[in-house]
Amino acid sequence: MKNIIYLIAFLLYINTFAQSSKPYTLVYKVNKMIDKEEYVADEKVDKKDEVNIRKHIYGYNAQKDSVVYYSFYNSEVTENGESTLYTLEKKADKIKLNFKGSYEMNVNLGFDNLKKTITINNKDVFYLNDGYFNYLHKKVYEGLNIPDLVDFLEDFLEDYGMEELRYISSREKYKHNNFRILKASMESYRSQASQYLDQWNIQFDYDKNGVLKYLLKESTEGDQALEKKILSYRKGVFRYAIHRNNESRLITDSEQTFDISKKVFNEKITAFQIGLGKETYFETRQILYKIFSADALYLKSQSILEINKIKIK
């Protein structure tokens, strides 16, 4: 009789636990965007440190092969927030990241075990050392893990239309001193001259501790599209200076600081729009980062409204 009671109690416990556990995870990140200064044709526009709030909500399943993304400015959260869905799936010997939001696109990836390379869209090739390739093969190719894919492509998310995913990067390559991208080559047609093909070589330089200290994306004609330099790092906190030149139309210089253990990411940016003669200075400061569980991948309107009520510092 006592054994039967114990069994019933155990079954009740398991049933209660199963009902209370939730299969999805939500990441809620809030940034304060401070518009510092603006110059148009050398004339200063007084912004008086104009402040905007941007809220990011990510939802993903246990495998992390599906991510739903919501984004809102200031207090615009309504019951009908638009979402974007990213899914990572395996097709034959390749994997494909699908994007479905206001428009649709996909990114194809192929893994070569012999050469230790990852090819993207049949044209861009990344060469990795054994440690990092084996990790990505297991986590991304076999496990279809989107945060690890975002971590791998961190500096090239803009090239593949994935920039809004950067806040759920796993940051794994910063936690291991033997994870390295050795070199890469890319191709891209110019947005305002679609017949012109740029070919890019990307070099990576690491210090003795395996920390990326320099990255350069340079065309075969000598144009530099991306330069990244380490400014400091200590106890999991990294600070980088990043220079981007988008076809000599938009030039940005930023300073990114992130803490891989506390999930903190802040940024200072100077942007210069050459055709308009417009230069702006602004900062993005993280003021909230919260993780909690959910019952569904897509959020119902009431859930979005409840998340918006969470107090911000």
Q: What is the DSSP string of 44-79?
A: EE---SEEEEEEEEEEEETT--EEEEEEEETT---T
Structure confidence at residue 36 (pLDDT): 79
Q: In terms of pLDDT, which residue wins out, 124 or 195? A: 124
Structure confidence at residue 179 (pLDDT): 97
- Average of per-residue pLDDT across 22-31: 93
Mean pLDDT across the chain: 88
% of the chain with per-residue pLDDT over 90? 64
Instruction: Grade residue 171 by pLDDT with cuts at 50, 70 and 90.
Output: very high
In the predicted structure, residue 11 carries a pLDDT above the cut 90: no
Structure confidence at residue 15 (pLDDT): 46
In the predicted structure, residue 147 carries a pLDDT above the cut 80: yes
Structure confidence at residue 39 (pLDDT): 73
In the predicted structure, residue 132 carries a pLDDT above the cut 90: yes
Structure confidence at residue 17 (pLDDT): 38
In whole angstroms, give the CA distance from residue 291 to residue 133: 29
- Average of per-residue pLDDT across 42-49: 70
In the predicted structure, residue 84 carries a pLDDT above the cut 80: yes
In the predicted structure, residue 62 carries a pLDDT above the cut 50: yes
In the predicted structure, residue 146 carries a pLDDT above the cut 60: yes
In the predicted structure, residue 112 carries a pLDDT above the cut 60: yes
Please tell me whether the overall predicted TM-score, pTM, comes out greater than 0.85 for this model. Answer: yes
User: What is the distance, to the nearest Å, from the Cα of residue 220 to the centroid of all Cα atoms in its chain?
Assistant: 28
Q: Where are the alpha helices (DSSP H) in the chain?
A: 2-20, 130-136, 146-152, 301-307
Q: In terms of pLDDT, which residue wins out, 178 or 16? A: 178
Instruction: Grade residue 76 by pLDDT with cuts at 50, 70 and 90.
Output: low
Helix (H, G, I), strand (E, B) or coil at 242: strand
Indicate the residue type of 182: L
* Interval 178-231: pLDDT, tens: 999 999 999 998 777 677 899 999 999 999 999 999 999 999 999 999 999 999
In whole angstroms, give the CA distance from residue 63 to residue 43: 52
Instruction: Grade residue 115 by pLDDT with cuts at 50, 70 and 90.
Output: very high
Residues 6+ apart with CB under 8 A from 287: 30, 31, 32, 312, 313
Distances (CA, A) of 244 to 163, 164, 249, 269: 14, 17, 11, 11
Size of the chain, expressed as the number of residues it contains = 313
In the predicted structure, residue 6 carries a pLDDT above the cut 60: no
Q: In terms of pLDDT, which residue wins out, 7 or 75? A: 75
* Interval 239-296: pLDDT, tens: 999 999 988 789 999 999 999 998 999 999 999 988 777 888 999 999 999 999 998 8
Structure confidence at residue 16 (pLDDT): 41
